[in-house]
Amino acid sequence: MSNLLTNVTFHGQRLAQSLKQEGIINEDVLAAISATPRQIFIDEALEYKAYENTALPIGHGQTISQPYIVARMTQLLLAKGNINNVLEIGTGSGYQCAILAQLVDKVFTVERIKALQRQAKRRLRLIDLHNIAMKHGDGWQGWASKGPFDAIMVTAAASEVPIDLLQQLVDGGQLIIPIGEHTQTLMLITREGERFSQQKIETVKFVPLLAGDVS
């Protein structure tokens, strides 16, 4: 094994260990965090912070999410069991997508900023994950032609729950989404036929889910 890989595994394991202490209990999620080189998803200048439990800038005013929140949202969605396909809104760096892709059969991800989408595609190519489909577009509309989805994860804060996303859930499927502007609450919404039940998870801080796409 090269020194780089040894270091990556070591740092990933240490990060997973600290998330465990913060209450992440799903061993599969911890294993995915451990195995994922977060450093390839951020700029070289910030590499030294790659395995700290913090959000970091990724350009275009956006951020790679804090590992704790990545792990927490993933753990919440997997708790239901039988999750095969997941739609992520807000590809950003591609890190959350890489974690999901190690845990479910297929991940679909939508990003509104073309340059970030291209960069994430390049970065995901560096690791051996082949079950990801990416799209440049407006996540408010989801990705209807690929649905319905067992789970949908939105990694930017929406002013309200996007109706299109609710409609793209399978019966029993779940949407996890931060709602609000200055004060945001992470919500877990479950589809029960044509009804939707909501559970408040915790207060969070995400960049906003904006309208439209940027080429």
Q: Write out the catalytic residue numbers.
A: 65
Options 34, 36, 39, 63; binder of ligand SAH; rule CB under 6 A: 63
Interstrand relation of 195-204 and 184-192 (parallel, antiparallel or unpaired)? antiparallel
Please give the backbone phi and psi of residue 13, each rounded to the nearest 5 degrees, phi first.
-65, -40
Interstrand relation of 132-136 and 195-204 (parallel, antiparallel or unpaired)? unpaired
Helix (H, G, I), strand (E, B) or coil at 80: coil
What is the rounded CA–CA span in Å between residue 121 and residue 119? Answer: 5
**Applying CB under 6 A, does 176 fall inside the site for ligand SAH?**
no
**Applying CB under 6 A, does 113 fall inside the site for ligand SAH?**
yes
59: left (phi over 0), alpha (psi -120 to 50) or beta: left
State the DSSP string of 180-209.
Answer: ESSSEEEEEEEEETTEEEEEEEEEE---B-
Closest CA to 27 of 64, 83, 79, 66: 79
The least distance separating ligand SAH from the CB of residue 100, rounded to whole angstroms, comes to: 9
User: For ligand SAH, which is the closer residue by CB, 192 or 211?
Assistant: 211
Options 12, 34, 74, 112; binder of ligand SAH; rule CB under 6 A: 112
Span from 4-12, 17-25, 133-141, 142-150 in contact with ligand SAH (CB under 6 A): 133-141
**Applying CB under 6 A, does 56 fall inside the site for ligand SAH?**
no
Query: Which tokens go with 153?
Result: 């994860």
Options 37, 67, 139, 142; binder of ligand SAH; rule CB under 6 A: 139
Q: Scanning residues 78 to 107, which ones bind ligand SAH (CB under 6 A)?
A: 89-90, 92-93, 95-96
With CB atoms as reference, the residue minimizing the distance to ligand SAH is 92
Report the 10 Å Cβ neighbour count for 182: 6
The least distance separating ligand SAH from the CB of residue 74, rounded to whole angstroms, comes to: 11
Handedness of CA 109, 114, 116, 120 (dihedral sign): positive
**Applying CB under 6 A, does 73 fall inside the site for ligand SAH?**
no
User: For ligand SAH, which is the closer residue by CB, 34 or 62?
Assistant: 62
Which residues bind to ligand SAH, rule: CB under 6 A?
Answer: 62-65, 89-90, 92-93, 95-96, 110-113, 116, 138-140, 155-156, 207, 209-210
